Every structure is written in structure tokens, then in C-alpha cells.
Amino acid sequence: MTFLYLNSDEMGDGDSALGKKLMKSFLAELAKSDVSVDMVGCVNTAVHLTTEGSETLESLKKLEARGARIASCGTCLDYFNKREKLQIGEIGSMDQTVLVMNMADKIIRPN
């Protein structure tokens, strides 16, 4: 099982606008690649990627259409007042994250 673990809506450290652009590009390239992803887990600011107004929803929808489950941290959604704005996937929990990380053969972490 391959787990894509996203803990930010940015890729890399440094300029925030550049980091967001890089994450958008990464997800778009991943979505059109042959790389198999079974689960996408979004924590901390990565929940902005799965909620209303996100520029990455199309890429995530493509991954979902190829069979990837997408989960956004419920605590994080609540912290950012975005639970009602979730646009894709399910609300996950930390125990789910721990379980998936333990079961995963491969963890992709682009940050």
C-alpha cells in the first residue's frame, strides 16, 4: 500500500507563494503519472487542499478516481473552521493515520 502523507499545503521551505505553487504542480504531475497511490492523508494546513477554494481539487479528484482514498484530519478541519467546507474525501483521525502509516509499504512525503 502506498500512502501519500501531506502535512502542509506548501512544498518545501521558504516563500509561501512558491511553496503553494510547487504543491499544486506536484499533485497535478502525480495525478497524471502512473504512480499508484492508495491513500492520501492530509493533516495541518494540508486540509486546505481538500476544502472549498482549493486549486488542487481536480488533481485530487483524479487520484480518487484511480482508487485513492482521501482523508483530512478532523481536528485540523475544526482548527481551521473548515469541516463544513470539505470538498473531497472523508474526515480522518489520528488513530487512522497511525494505522495507515504502520501498514504502508511506501510513504510519499513531498514536504
Structure confidence at residue 10 as a pLDDT band (50, 70, 90): very high
Give the DSSP letter string of 63-83: HHHTT-EEEEEHHHHHHTT-G
pLDDT of residue 70: 98
Structure confidence at residue 111 as a pLDDT band (50, 70, 90): confident
Calculate Rg over the CA atoms of the chain.
13
For the chain, domain boundaries: 2-108
CATH no. for 2-108: 3.40.1260.10
